[in-house]
A and B are shown apart, each in its own frame.
Chain A
Amino acid sequence: MKRTLIVILLATTGVFVHIRAQSDLQISKAFEMYGHQKGAVMVELTNEVFGNYNFTLFKSLSVSKNPQVADFIRKCLAHDESGARKVKQVVANGVPTSVYLQLPKKGKLFRLILFNEATQADQKVTLIYIESENDSEDVLKFILKRK
């Protein structure tokens, strides 16, 4: 009886464990590896409202003057774009420098990955992962309006 109770408790808790919808993505490694380094800025916000859109999860990584980061992120994106819709891609000198991916929904969450590598000045690499219950088309419109 005691054993059954423990098993039920563990199973129920396991079901309710909050597994991030990004944990299945390769880009999560980029945040882990480079987020705490010098020269990097990593931001994580939950349940934040930007414009009129509620971002369940907003995670960004900005790294300056580190081409390795951009290469690593590109490899991650090559894996994560499987099954995703490529909304935008800019290629410079044969290398994608800007990619917007609309990922398959996870439950009721729309997911987006935005990547940009500035080709001049400080060569800043920016990676953003967004989860939102708002339609990702609307979220993209909001983002594209920002200049």
Chain B
Amino acid sequence: MIILFTKKIISSVEADRLIDLYYEGLTTQDDENKLKKFLNQPGLSPRYSAEQALFGYFDRERSGAITLSGSHHFRVIAQVAAGVVVVLLSSVWLFWPQNAGYAWVDGHKTEDIHQVRQMALSSLTEVNNSYELVSQQLDDVSGAEIVQQQLSVFAR
């Protein structure tokens, strides 16, 4: 045996009583739920049309708020996603190893990579020129030459 539990819809007398209480602001949530269930049934007398419209309005407002909240969340997610994409693209642009070179000669810029490389290598040679000075100084203090110079004094 299957027992069906159905929520009872209130009578029109009870509904009239709850409507009066509703307009006086004395209804509980439970009362309003019963009233809503009563007003939502099909084939209701037209004398309840005002109350049907009233409760229908509040229902629409509630669902409208939910819709607004949903679209707001979507906007936030879209903004965050856009921000992440921008940051990622910026990182790629900034950090992608790029082989680049330029030179300024007498105030004029050149980007001919071969010329630029040549100038770079040339500057490495120039900065190394002092090595020859060191070699020369090492030669100057070479012991063999000093000995020879000193011996030549006695040869006179």
Contacts and interface: CB of A to CB of B under 8 A. Distances in A.
Contacts of B97: 46-47
Given A5-B83, A8-B83, A48-B117, A16 B90 contact: yes
Contacts of B130: 88, 90, 97-98, 116
Interface stretch (B20-28, B45-53, B100-108): B100-108
Contacts of A62: 123, 126
A36 interface: yes
B126 to A, nearest CB: 4
Q: Assign chain B's interface to a size class.
A: 35 or more
B76 interface: yes
Contacts of B104: 35-36, 40-43
A57 to B, nearest CB: 10
Contacts of A108: none
Nearest to A59: B120
A16 B106 contact: no
Contacts of A18: 94-95
A43 B90 contact: no
Contacts of B99: 46-48
Contacts of B9: none
A45 B120 contact: yes
Given A42-B103, A46-B100, A147 B94 contact: no
B123 A43 contact: yes
B90 A47 contact: no
Contacts of A116: 126-130
A12 B87 contact: yes
A28 to B, nearest CB: 15
A102 to B, nearest CB: 15
Given A9-B87, A47-B98, 20 more contacts: A1-B76, A5-B83, A8-B83, A16-B87, A16-B90, A41-B105, A43-B103, A44-B103, A45-B116, A48-B99, A48-B117, A50-B120, A50-B124, A60-B123, A88-B130, A90-B130, A114-B127, A126-B123, A126-B127, A147-B128
Interface of A: 1-2, 5, 8-9, 12-13, 16-18, 35-48, 50, 58, 60, 62, 88, 90, 97-98, 114-116, 118, 124, 126, 128, 143-144, 146-147
Interface of B: 76, 79-80, 83, 86-87, 90-91, 94-95, 97-107, 116-117, 119-121, 123-134
23 contacts: A5-B83, A16-B87, A36-B104, A41-B119, A41-B123, A43-B104, A44-B101, A46-B100, A47-B98, A48-B99, A48-B101, A62-B123, A62-B126, A88-B130, A97-B130, A116-B126, A116-B127, A116-B129, A143-B124, A143-B127, A146-B121, A146-B128, A147-B128
